[in-house]
A and B are shown apart, each in its own frame.
Chain A
Amino acid sequence: MTTELPGADILIQALIDLGVDTIFGYPGGAVLPIYDALFKQDKIKHILVRHEQAAAHAAEGYARSTGKPGVVLVTSGPGATNAVTGITDALMDSIPMVVITGQVPSPLIGTDAFQEADTVGITRHCTKHNYLVKSPDKLGAIIHEAFHIATTGRPGPVVIDIPKDVQVASAHYTNPGKITHPTYKPAFAGDPDLIAQAMAIFAQAKRPIIYSGGGIINSGPHASAALRELVALSGAPITSTLMGLGAYPASGPNWLHMLGMHGSYEANFAMNECDVMLCLGARFDDRVTGRLDAFSPNSTKIHVDIDRSSINKIVRVDLGIVGDCGSVIEDMVAVWKAEGYAKADLTEWWTKIEGWRARKSLNYAKSANEIMPQHAIRALWQQTNERNPVITTEVGQHQMWAAQHFGFEDANKWLTSGGLGTMGYGLPAAIGAQIGNPDALVIDIAGEASIQMNIQELGTATQYRLPVKIFILNNEYMGMVRQWQELTYSSRYSESYSDSLPDFVKLAEAYGWKGIRCSDPAKLDDAIAEMLAYDGPVLFDCLVAKQTNCFPMIPSGAAHTEMLLESAQVSGTMDDEAKALV
């Protein structure tokens, strides 16, 4: 018989047994026993953030860049509620994460005790699953089950709420090993008959397209490898969602760039005119489809997703395959080879695509007087791409420009808040990514508005000597809000000007960072070189052209074929139907 351990020690031992080496957290009254248990061991490193939301985003950045689950530890009440945005972000982007929250002692639950919040109630619909641990006897098993649920199937956040008395009371703990859950049995392998049917359809296609998404990244490096093989075997063009960038290399010959609202002309037109669409680990988000009744009207659609509820949720498909993307694509490759399918003659299709490509939809105006934001991204890429950096972003115009103009060659290098669109994600995510990849070059491409939403995390990077770089495209506007106001509300800039900005260079220096400011396009390359040469954290305040908008763009409610390529096409107002769309 094992000796009894206090709940807090059971938690730490279970985490160690699960291979956890890093926790992002913030202490408080209801987790003091756990923090004391952390103090007495040296296997798990705790990263002290400055705000609990940042703990969750840092865990996301760690998870997305390493493939391992992110772990968060916060106190009850405000600790838990502050983490909710990050938890919801992880749910929307399917990031494996386990969040441990302290709770007031069991006898006080429901009495409006100090720092009490109904954490399981609040997080019920922003987690994949959650637990309130009522007894230390169950704690070990719950920790192991939580990791199993967070990391298998469609990954997601799991919250474990542990009352303080459960952290102190003793119980026996044994490592349960591999979990078999009585009701939670996620799919893994896809149905072989459906996979064979899918390949029979795909091999016959005259105008095929592969539309891949974040599911490939979640599935792991083998999924990217299989995807690349399938593209090479079939010769099909490939586009990707925001979340899937890097699964297929941006330098690859079949790459059409990202699709959707700010996707390329060739990607959206190819989606519109394809005859067979192979959707791998993407979910037909409204940012991708544009107007639904005009979405790829004449194609046979095949959809592979690990979550059955994603299939036929928004777009009706002809063939749905439930399974892990990596496993299904590997099976597809095997079927393709076993059936001896040859690469079809897609000359006509590619000629058409080249015609769309010739529109050069990602081109932008050049300027000798001011730094164009797209040029800044390109210049950053130019000097860093050989180091295969990890790029995080905040949310807005800079995020879309980064997606459009920074070429990603590999999976797990692009960390962005896609589903929830959380401003303030980028800096803590960069911190998490740097912790998980100590030798990597990690850059948060930011906007001057977004960066202020978790600016306090400058201190976290300083504390752990993380050489994170922040590259702010500073146009003194919440640019995407302003862009929509120009499109829809006759340029009435209601509250979208970033007034009273701090001096970012001084702010950086106050936190012990290096600060660089640049507004001259002629000096940009040298300034970027100076940032990269500095062995420590740098905040780069890049003053860019203020009025530039992000194109191409499919206005909400428009079809793929109704793309706007430049600002001259932008009208000043829209009807109510268009205004009501997000």
Chain B
Amino acid sequence: MYITPPETERHTLSITVTNESGVLAKIAGMFSARGYNIESLTVADISPDDEVSRITIVTSGTPHVIEQIVAQLDRMVLVHRVNDLTANGPHVERELALIKVAGTGVRHDEARKLAEIHHAHTLDVTPSSYVFELTGSSEEIETFIALMSEIGAVEVARTGIVAISRGKAAA
């Protein structure tokens, strides 16, 4: 007997929750308990009174699984709202990465030039290294990391996706 994985699609979910201890464990635990994927997860307080946090989760699954994920999130006591941004129209997604590149001489110059072309900010510089900051789509960040890897990227930190719907309405 062999197990064949089903066809999946990628969705970005924006979830507002009551900001209290345990809520992130509850949500992350629901994903693991029911066998759902988390590709990235970001969470931060978004309210002036520290009451509400936004969790952005990138997940993948069959359309049926995505529908279940939204329904399972929606019924949690501390969840205010679940917005499947991928399903609900246009939205923007951004990610921030910090990339440390080591190298001297030609390599050092090459790293700086490539960073300029990609509009990366230089946060730290030494004669033999840089730390660049790049904000963009996941694809842009991956392209930049791939380039820097050839020069000598030694360490990468990424935030994971944050996302918001386009237009004037709060979704």
Residues of chain B within 8 A of A576, CB atoms compared: 1
The answer to the question of A222 belonging to the interface, with a C-beta cut-off of 8 Å to chain B, is no
Residues of A contacting B: mostly: loop
Q: Are A183 and B29 in contact (CB under 8 A)?
A: no
A132 contacts across to B, CB distance below 8 A: 21-22
> Once the chains bind, are B30 and A125 in contact (CB under 8 Å)?
yes
Q: Are B71 and A121 in contact (CB under 8 A)?
A: no
- For residue A428, give the distance in angstroms from its CB to the closest CB of chain B: 26
Residues on A with beta carbons closer than 8 Å to the beta carbon of B68 = 309, 312-313
Residue of B nearest to A575 (CB): B1
A147 to nearest B CB, angstroms? 13
A181: which B residues are within 8 A, CB to CB? 77
The reply to whether B74 and A183 form a contact with Cβ atoms under 8 Å apart is no
- A183–B79 touching, CB < 8 Å: yes
Residues of B within 8 A of A184 (CB): 77
CB<8 Å pairs between A and B, sample of 26: A120-B22, A121-B25, A124-B22, A124-B25, A124-B26, A125-B30, A128-B77, A129-B78, A132-B22, A182-B18, A182-B80, A183-B79, A183-B80, A184-B77, A307-B75, A309-B68, A309-B75, A311-B71, A312-B64, A312-B67, A312-B68, A313-B71, A316-B64, A575-B1, A576-B1, A580-B1
In chain B between 1 and 47, which residues have their CB closer than 8 angstroms to a CB of chain A?
Answer: 1, 18, 21-22, 25-26, 29-30, 33
Docked pose: A580 CA to B1 CA in angstroms: 9
Q: Is A34 an interface residue (CB 8 A)?
A: no
In angstroms, Cα B17 to Cα A184, docked, is 11
A316 contact set on B, CB distance < 8 A: 64
Decide if A503 is an interface residue (CB 8 Å cutoff): no
B67 close to A149 (CB less than 8 A): no
**Residue B72 CB within 8 A of the other chain:** yes
Cβ of A339 under 8 Å from chain B: no
Does A112 sit within 8 A of B, measured CB to CB? no
Number of residues from A at the complex interface, CB < 8 A:
25
Inter-chain CA distance A154–B74, complex, in Å, is 13
Find out whether the CB atom of B77 lies under 8 angstroms from the CB atom of A577: no
A50 contacts chain B at the CB level, 8 A cutoff: no
> Is the CB of A291 closer than 8 A to any CB of chain B?
no
Whether A183 pairs with B77 at a CB distance below 8 angstroms is yes
Q: A158: nearest residue on chain B (CB-CB)?
A: B77
Min CB distance B7 to A, Å, is: 17
User: Which single residue of chain A is at the shortest CB-CB distance from B75?
Assistant: A309
- Mark interface residues in A305-328 (1 if CB within 8 Å of B CB, else 0): 001110111001000000000000
Q: Interface 1/0s, chain A 21-51, versus B by CB < 8 A? A: 0000000000000000000000000000000
Chain A residues whose C-beta falls within 8 Å of the C-beta of B21 in the assembled complex: 132
Query: Which residue of A is nearest B22, CB measured?
Result: A120
Considering only residues 235-263 of chain A, those with a C-beta below 8 Å from chain B are none
Looking at chain B, what size class is its interface with the partner chain? 20 to 34
Check if A183 sits within 8 Å of B71, measured CB to CB. no
Complex alpha-carbon distance, A182 and B21, angstroms: 17
Closest B residue to A153 using CB positions: B75
B80/A309 in contact, CB under 8 A: no
Contacts of B26 in A (CB 8 A): 124
Query: Is A124 touching B29 in the complex (CB atoms < 8 A)?
Result: yes
Contacts of B29 in A (CB 8 A): 124-125
- Give residues of chain B (38-83) contacting chain A, Cβ–Cβ below 8 Å: 64, 67-68, 71-72, 74-75, 77-80
Minimum distance in angstroms from A305 CB to a CB of chain B: 11
Chain B contacts for A120, CB-based, 8 A: 22
Find out whether the CB atom of B77 lies under 8 angstroms from the CB atom of A149: yes
Please determine whether A183 and B75 come into contact, CB atoms closer than 8 angstroms: no
Asked whether, in the complex, the Cβ of B22 is within 8 Å of the Cβ of A308, the reply is no
Query: Cβ of B77 and Cβ of A309 under 8 Å apart?
Result: no
**In contact, A308 and B74 (Cβ under 8 angstroms):** yes
How many angstroms from the CA of A308 to the CA of B80 in the assembled complex? Answer: 15
Which of B18, B67, B71 lies at the interface centre, i.e. has the most chain A CB atoms within 10 A of its CB? B71
Bound Cα distance A125, B26 (Å): 7
In the complex, residue of chain A having the shortest beta-carbon distance to the beta carbon of B2: A576
User: Chain A, 275-300, contact with B by CB distance < 8 Å: what is the 0/1 string?
Assistant: 00000000000000000000000000
Known: A124-B22, A181-B77, A183-B78. 10 other contacts (CB 8 A): A128-B77, A129-B77, A153-B75, A182-B18, A183-B79, A184-B77, A309-B74, A311-B71, A313-B68, A316-B64
Contact A183 B25 (CB under 8 A): no
Interface residues of A in 111-166 (CB under 8 A from B): 120-121, 124-125, 128-129, 132, 149, 153-154
Q: A25–B71 Cα gap in the complex (Å)?
A: 35
Q: Is the CB of B1 within 8 A of A183?
A: no
- Shortest beta-carbon distance from B51 to chain A in Å: 9
**Nearest neighbor of A131 in chain B, beta-carbon distance:** B22
Nearest Cβ in chain A — how far from B109, in angstroms? 51
Query: Bound state CA distance, A242 and B158, in angstroms?
Result: 50
Q: Which of B87-139 contact A (CB under 8 A)?
A: none
Q: Which 8 A-B pairs have the closest CB atoms?
A: A309-B71, A576-B1, A129-B77, A184-B77, A183-B80, A308-B71, A309-B72, A125-B33
